[in-house]
Amino acid sequence: ETGVTQTPRHLVMGMTNKKSLKCEQHLGHNAMYWYKQSAKKPLELMFVYNFKEQTENNSVPSRFSPECPNSSHLFLHLHTLQPEDSALYLCASSQGGRDEQFFGPGTRLTVL
């Protein structure tokens, strides 16, 4: 595997389900990010992790819960989501906080 990988690529869930998105970076980077991309809207930064420590929570609802067990892996735990949470969820990583970010292919999430 190379670059940034995300699983699953597609996810359909009901509003009462609990699911998790997984991201893994194979670039030796120190920082990882979660973004949300909705149709016709700019990418929205959700969370930032630097050396496994969360440094940014961009006013994200508590039904989204991130976890970063090490600098290579990042999870987004989802529970009791709403239909408006349907979007493409993108993971990214960078060497440092001020370097270019490299993105994974995303998870297309549909909440019924």
Partner 1 sequence: EDQVTQSPEALRLQEGESSSLNCSYTVSGLRGLFWYRQDPGKGPEFLFTLYSAGEEKEKERLKATLTKKESFLHITAPKPEDSATYLCAVQRDSWGKLQFGAGTQVVVTP
Q: How far is the CB of 29 from partner 1 (least distance, A)?
A: 11
Cβ-based neighbour number of residue 65 at 10 Å? 15
Q: How far is the CB of 100 from partner 1 (least distance, A)?
A: 5
Cβ nearer to partner 1, comparing 11 with 101: 101
Cβ nearer to partner 1, comparing 60 with 79: 60
Residue 20 in tokens: 């998790």
**Interface positions with partner 1 (CB under 8 A):** 4, 31, 33, 40-43, 45, 48, 50, 55-56, 90, 92, 94, 97-98, 100-106, 108
Q: How far is the CB of 93 from partner 1 (least distance, A)?
A: 10
Dihedral-angle region of residue 16 (phi above 0 means left; psi in -120 to 50 means alpha; beta otherwise): alpha
